Amino acid sequence: MSNCIAAELLKRGKTVLYQTAPVLLESVIDYKFNKNKNYNNNNNNIYKSVLETDLLIIDDLGTENLNSMKLSELFTILNTRILNLNNKITKTIISTNLNINEIFENYEERIGSRIAGYYDIYCFFGDDLRFRK
C-alpha cells in the first residue's frame, strides 16, 4: 500500500523518502554525529530530507534497537513533521507490526500519543504477499 501511495505522489512531482526505521534512525544519528563525511555535502543532507520531504514512509517501526538517542530522534522527526515546524506541509506513513498498545509499551508516551493522536490507524489482515508465488 505504501509503495502505491509513493508511486502516485512521485507521478505528481512530490518528493518521497521510503526507509526502514532502523536505517532511518541510524542515518540521522550518523549525520548528526558526522560519522560519515559524505553527509556533510549540502546536496546529501539526510536530516533535511527526512524533515522536509513531502512524504516520509517509515517502514518496520519496532524493529530497531532502541536507545535514548533513537527515541529522541524519532520524536523530533514525528513532531517536526506533524506540527509543520519545517514550514512545509508534510505527511508521514508509518508501517509496523505493533499494535497501539505495543507502541505505548515500546516507545515514550510522547511518541505513542503523537502516533495515536495524529495518525489514522489501519490494520491489514491476511496472508503475507511475500509468501505468495
The enclosing domain of 22 has a CATH number of 3.40.50.300
Q: Is 98 helix (H, G, I), strand (E, B) or coil?
A: coil
- Residue 19's domain comprises 2-122
- Model confidence at 94: pLDDT above 60: yes
pTM, 2 dp: 0.88
Name the CA radius of gyration of the chain, rounded.
Answer: 15
What is the pLDDT, as a whole number, of residue 53?
A: 96
- Model confidence at 45: pLDDT above 90: no
Q: Rounded CA gap, 115 and 132, in Å?
A: 31
What is the pLDDT, as a whole number, of residue 37?
A: 57
What is the pLDDT, as a whole number, of residue 35?
A: 62
What is the dihedral sign for C-alpha 26, 106, 122, 90? negative
Q: Rounded CA gap, 51 and 63, in Å?
A: 21
Q: Rounded CA gap, 28 and 21, in Å?
A: 11
Compute the mean pLDDT over every residue in the chain, rounded to the nearest whole number: 91
What is the pLDDT, as a whole number, of residue 41?
A: 54
CB 78 within 8 A of CB 110: no
Q: Taking residues 106-110, what's their average pLDDT?
A: 95
Q: Taking residues 62-72, what's their average pLDDT?
A: 96
- Model confidence at 19: pLDDT above 50: yes
Number of domains the chain is built from: 1
Any domain includes 128: no
Any domain includes 132: no
Q: Taking residues 49-69, what's their average pLDDT?
A: 96
Count of CB atoms situated within 10 Å of the CB of 31: 21
What is the pLDDT, as a whole number, of residue 39?
A: 47
Percent of the chain residues past pLDDT 90, beyond the cut: 76
Any domain includes 104: yes
What is the pLDDT, as a whole number, of residue 125?
A: 85
Any domain includes 19: yes
